[in-house]
Structure formats: C-alpha cells, structure tokens
Amino acid sequence: MIKVVYEVVPHDGGWAYRLGGVYSEAFPTHAEALEAARIVADEQQVGGDSAEISWQDENGKWHEEYAEGGDRPETEVVDGMWQNRGAGASQSV
C-alpha cells in the first residue's frame, strides 16, 4: 500500500503543507495549515468511482492513468514545527 505523508512547514511568510516537493497555498497561521493538511489527508481516505485521472509530478510533467476508486493510500500528517525543536522531537498528528 502507498503511504502519503503531508508535512506542515513554514512557507512564503506563513505556513503550508507539503507533499514531496510540492507546497499548498500559504496559510497565515500554523494552525490553519495543520487543519488544511488534516482535511486533505482525510479526503484521501474516501473511496469513489474508478476513473481516468491526470496528475502533475514534481518536474511539471503531466501523467494520465486509471485509478481504482477503492484503492486508497495510507495517509499521515507530520507537523514540521515539532521537528524543528530538536533531535527526536517529531510528532505525527
């Protein structure tokens, strides 16, 4: 099973969540970015209809593939604020 990890990090003078090297919009507060990351992670768990999808990778290349509606990844939100407080201080939320 695929695992998708969203990390909440400082970005553009505010906070954002990041998946790989791709950032969300910037949020004014850490709490807003954390809540948005949790919402997106929860939405990843909702199954749907199978469909053709297109997505853009970190290099800007577009891909198309068939996605099974019930094939959902495992998700996790990692709070980057806790990771920056010293060794071993990471917290999954």
- Is residue 44 classed exposed, middle or buried when 0-12, 13-18 and 19+ CB atoms within 10 A define those classes? middle
| Statement: the pTM of the whole predicted model exceeds 0.95 | no
DSSP reduced 3-state for 84: coil
Distance CA 6, CA 78 (A): 6
- The pLDDT tens digits of the residues spanning 36-73 come to 999 999 998 887 788 898 989 999 999 999 887 777 78
Q: One-letter amino acid identity for 53? A: I
> For the chain, what are the domain ranges?
4-67
**Residue closest to 45 by CA, chosen among 24, 20, 74, 66:** 74
Residues 6+ apart with CB under 8 A from 79: 7, 8, 34, 90, 91, 92, 93
Structure confidence at residue 42 (pLDDT):
92
Q: Looking at 23-27, 29-33, 55-59, which range is the least confident one?
A: 55-59
pLDDT band at residue 84 using 50, 70 and 90 as cut-offs: low
